[in-house]
Amino acid sequence: MPSKAEHLQKYKINKNILETVLDPKNKEHYDWIVIVCFYTALHIIEARFAQKSINNATHKEREDRMRDNPDFGRKIAEKYKQLSSYSKVARYQAKSMPMTLVDASIHYLQYIEDTLMPIIDSQSTDTSK
């Protein structure tokens, strides 16, 4: 099971890619922006689960546990589900990703970051930091 620190490292790598590599003005990057937003959010959420020694083997398991866990709440679960859905569109459909979904993905990721990162940072239960 990856540790909180390992998930946070992946989060930081993905966040850096969003901020320095992918240009939101370049339509060729739209798919990748959406995909990276999803995986960035995934690692924030998994870092929180790792603090509680919970390992999710599948996306469905993660989504189910988010719904049942008061740490996340309905808004985070909904925004994560939307990111997952948009990511599937970006990965599996040949059509171009619309800018509205790119903007929404960035917004949803920001909400998840703003809500969970202070909790993750304040509750250091991972001894492998």
- Give the pLDDT confidence score for residue 94 in this predicted structure: 75
The pTM (predicted TM-score) of the whole model is 0.91
Please count the CA atoms within 13 angstroms of the CA of 69 that sit on its side-chain side: 16
Instruction: Give tens-digit pLDDT for 28-76.
Output: 999 999 999 999 999 999 999 999 999 999 999 999 999 888 889 899 9
Q: Is it the case that residue 128 has pLDDT exceeding 60?
A: no
Name the pLDDT band for 124 (thresholds 50, 70, 90).
Answer: low
DSSP 80: H
pLDDT at 49: 96
Question: CA separation (Å) from 97 to 34, 64, 121?
Answer: 9, 27, 33
